[in-house]
């Protein structure tokens, strides 16, 4: 399901509902192009009753589309009762007690043009700028034929705000705009990482990355002094 527009997401709501009903606790909407599409994405992941305790934090989100019965199997996967599942199956951090994690890929020129409106939609926890598709959208085939972005794995620089250099001003600007919009919205930005740049990325505000090795994961945890509970 792509976030091309509100109608696309709404017409495919059944896919999102089926995936959540299987017990999944997180979803990413690719090609999230408009705020209307994102609002519908959040709505498809929610149950169809108001949550007074949110005190309007979910203002602007359409009524939830998930229905009774979907909690039966998912709650067993989560190891809780059906009622507990319904209570907790709501997007965090919009709902501080929610345990669903929704995210976006804002990965083309349309998302870039709407980024300030997209990041005002409540219910999203993290996102990314989608460098591969963003390069296709903004730069075209000739850029890809030249080898595309070869700097994604390099250490960060002061000129790029600590992020690995893309080496193409148009893409550097797109990434900076999307990253800054996510930070302003208190979303956790994602960026690919390796052992050479993980510390630079954390310093630059990246909060989600790919745990591609134990060495990478442990280096990040050591720098942040994060202790796992097990």
* Helices 71-78 & 13-21 angle (0-180, nearest 10): 40
Residue tagged 């963003």 (tokens): 134
H-helix segments, 159-197: 169-184
- Pairing outcome for strands 26-29 and 101-105: parallel
Write down the H helix ranges in the chain.
Answer: 6-11, 13-21, 35-44, 71-78, 82-88, 109-113, 115-118, 131-139, 141-145, 169-184, 198-203, 214-224
- Give the pLDDT of residue 22: 97
Predicted confidence (pLDDT) per residue in 131-173, tens digit: 999 999 999 999 888 887 655 667 777 777 778 888 888 998 9
Task: Provide the pLDDT for residue 153.
Answer: 66
**What pLDDT is attached to residue 229?**
73
Contact 209, 191 (CB under 8 A): yes
| pLDDT value of position 135 | 93
Secondary structure letter of residue 142 according to DSSP: H
The two tokens of residue 135 are: 């390069």
User: Which residues does 167 contact at the CB level (< 8 Å), separation at least 6?
Assistant: 149, 150, 151
pLDDT of residue 227: 81
Residue 149: predicted pLDDT: 65
Residue 144 neighbours by CB distance under 10 Å: 13
Q: Which regions of the chain are under pLDDT 70? A: 149-153, 230
């Amino acid at each position: 399901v792509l976030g091309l527009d509100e109608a696309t997401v709404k017409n495919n709501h059944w896919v999102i509902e089926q995936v959540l009903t299987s017990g999944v606790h997180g979803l990413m909407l690719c090609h999230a192009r408009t705020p209307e599409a994102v609002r519908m994405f959040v709505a498809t992941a929610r149950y169809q009753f108001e949550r007074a305790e949110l005190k309007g934090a979910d203002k602007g989100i359409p009524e939830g589309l998930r229905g009774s019965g979907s909690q039966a199997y998912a709650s067993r996967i989560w190891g809780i009762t059906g009622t507990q599942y319904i209570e907790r199956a709501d997007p965090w951090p919009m709902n501080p007690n929610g345990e669903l994690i929704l995210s976006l890929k804002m990965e083309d020129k349309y998302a870039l043009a709407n980024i300030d409106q997209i990041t005002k939609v409540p219910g999203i926890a993290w996102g990314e700028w989608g460098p591969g598709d963003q390069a296709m959208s903004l730069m075209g085939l000739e850029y890809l034929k030249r080898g595309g972005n070869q700097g994604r794995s390099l250490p960060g620089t002061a000129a790029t705000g600590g992020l690995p250099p893309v080496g193409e001003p148009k893409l550097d600007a797109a990434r900076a705009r999307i990253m800054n919009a996510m930070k302003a919205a208190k979303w956790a930005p994602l960026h690919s990482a390796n052992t050479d740049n993980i510390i630079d990325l954390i310093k630059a505000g990246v909060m989600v990355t790919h745990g591609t090795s134990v060495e990478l994961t442990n280096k990040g945890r050591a720098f942040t002094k994060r202790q796992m509970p097990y």
